[in-house]
Structure formats: structure tokens, C-alpha cells
Amino acid sequence: MLDTVPSVQGGRAMLRELLLAIGIPLALLLLAVLALERWGNQLPPWLQRINHRRSLIWNIGIGMIIVLSLLRWLLQR
């Protein structure tokens, strides 16, 4: 019967992972919204350069997914 009760350590680890999984994207979204509100319709020059090459944005996104997945795998070992 005691085997079915989750441990306190397991619950804390799950809560930490949940906060990271939800908190980081929300923080990035909030920062992006605040930045766009500040700049109005004009993007900063470095974002304008990236915006002209849409494949670069796609490649950076895929690269980030791969790097973050690898980092997660390494941290779980």
C-alpha cells in the first residue's frame, strides 16, 4: 500500500519541472510582448535583419530545439 503513495521528493521534482516547463515560455512571451509594446511598429535593426531571412529564423528555432533536448538529456543522466 505504501508503494502507491508518491514520495515528497518526487512531488517536488515534478513541481520544479512543471514550473520550468510553464514558467520559461511564459516569461519569454511576456518579455516579447513588452518589447514589442515598447518598440511599437518599428523593430530594432538586428531583428529587421533577421526578419528579412525567414529561413534563418526557422533554422535557429530547430537548432534551439535540438540543443535544449540534448541539454535535457544530459542533465537527466
| Cβ-based neighbours of 50, under 8 Å, separated by 6 or more | 56, 57
From residue 77, alpha-carbon distances to 11, 23, 74 in Å are 19, 23, 5
Q: Is there a single domain that holds both residue 50 and residue 72?
A: yes
pTM: predicted TM-score of the whole model, two decimal places: 0.47
Mean pLDDT of 10-18: 83
Q: Is there a single domain that holds both residue 74 and residue 55?
A: yes
Q: Is there a single domain that holds both residue 61 and residue 77?
A: yes
Q: Among residues of the chain, what percentage have pLDDT more than 90?
A: 18
CA angle 37, 43, 47 (to 5 degrees): 125
Q: Among residues of the chain, what percentage have pLDDT more than 70?
A: 88
Q: Is there a single domain that holds both residue 52 and residue 64?
A: yes
pLDDT on residue 1: 47
Q: Is there a single domain that holds both residue 73 and residue 52?
A: yes
Q: Is there a single domain that holds both residue 49 and residue 76?
A: yes
